[in-house]
Amino acid sequence: MNVPDSASRRSILRTIGAGAVATSVVAGTASAQQSETTTDGETHEVSMVSSDDGEYYFDPIGLHVQPGDTIRWTIESGSHNVVSYDDRIPEGADTFDTEVISEGSHEMTFSTEGTYDYYCMPHQALGMVGRFVVGEPGGPAVGSSPEHGDLPESSAIVEQGSISYDAFTGSDGTATPESTPTATATATATDEADETTEASGPGFTATGALSAIGAGALLRAYRNRDK
């Protein structure tokens, strides 16, 4: 058996070392490629808010995402968390219950399609609820809202993509005329009604009655003018 001299041993070690480095580089490149292919979903932002006038809400209150997308709930003010209604998420979806934070954010990725309803534990009784739809609507939350607050319809969320809290509650002035009639229209209708009542006969209003008395007095004075 031939024993290699020192120079030969050093050459062999250098060759082995170079091979190990090459193997490590290849493995690292493969890992990076895998990471890139598994994180191609979008990230969507939701704010968690405690307003000065005592409102607690998620904004947007309704959000549409695609399977594989990530939702990031970020503190804007106050202290909040994100908790799923166990009976108001799609079948097969994982429940979630984050810790309460006063700064920073919570981030979760969703793959199971359907409608998800959730709430903030400290402010659930105050109506701090939210909804998002992954892909197509589905599951027990479709067609109703949780007992602690109203939420946009799943179909409206999919159609609009995102529904802000102000738009949904009417806080931005977009409430329909039926729910908030204008003062001008009401005053005009009242004025028209008064005019119609007065025109229909002097006995219907005090103004009509006084007009009738004055007219009668003038007529009697005219008739007695030459007597």
Residue 205 identity (one-letter amino acid): T
> pLDDT at residue 93 above 60?
yes
pLDDT at residue number 82: 98
> pLDDT at residue 227 above 60?
no
> pLDDT at residue 18 above 80?
no
CB 115 within 8 A of CB 133: yes
The answer to whether 80 is a known ligand-binding residue is yes
Q: What are the residue ranges of helices labelled H in 92-205?
A: 154-160, 165-169, 183-200
- Rounded to whole angstroms, the Cα distance separating 227 from 219 reads 14
User: Does the reported pTM lie above 0.85?
Assistant: no
CB 128 within 8 A of CB 151: no
- Rounded to whole angstroms, the Cα distance separating 214 from 219 reads 9
Q: What is the pLDDT of residues 55-88, one digit of tens each?
A: 999 999 999 999 999 999 999 999 999 999 999 9
The domain spans of the chain are 43-169, 183-223
- In 4-141, DSSP assigns E strands to 43-50, 56-59, 62-65, 70-75, 83-84, 105-109, 114-119, 129-134
Helix (H, G, I), strand (E, B) or coil at 83: strand
Pick left, alpha or beta for residue 216 (phi over 0 → left; psi -120 to 50 → alpha; otherwise beta): alpha
pLDDT band with cut points at 50, 70 and 90 for residue 109: very high
The answer to whether 148 is a known ligand-binding residue is no
CB 116 within 8 A of CB 95: no
Q: Residue 116 contacts by C-beta under 8 Å, 6 or more apart in sequence?
A: 84, 88, 89, 90, 93, 110, 131, 132, 133, 134, 139, 141
pLDDT at residue number 205: 38
Q: What is the pLDDT of residues 115-171, one digit of tens each?
A: 999 999 999 999 999 999 999 999 999 999 999 999 999 999 999 999 999 999 986
The answer to whether 108 is a known ligand-binding residue is no
CB 53 within 8 A of CB 95: no
pLDDT at residue number 39: 52
> pLDDT at residue 2 above 60?
no
Q: What is the mean pLDDT of residues 39-58?
A: 93
Q: What is the mean pLDDT of residues 36-48?
A: 77
What is the Rg, in whole angstroms, of the alpha carbon atoms belonging to the chain? 37
pLDDT at residue number 44: 98
CA-to-CA separations, 175 to 7, 20, 183, 188, in angstroms, rounded:
87, 68, 15, 21
Q: What is the pLDDT of residues 167-187, one digit of tens each?
A: 999 865 333 332 333 333 333
Q: What is the mean pLDDT of residues 29-53?
A: 66
Q: What is the mean pLDDT of residues 182-194?
A: 40
The answer to whether 123 is a known ligand-binding residue is yes
CATH of 43-169, one of 3.40.50.620, 3.20.20.70, 2.60.40.420, 3.40.50.300: 2.60.40.420
Q: What is the pLDDT of residues 22-36, one digit of tens each?
A: 333 233 322 222 223
Token pair listed for 111: 């793959």
Q: Which residue has the higher pLDDT, 49 or 221?
A: 49
pLDDT band with cut points at 50, 70 and 90 for residue 40: confident
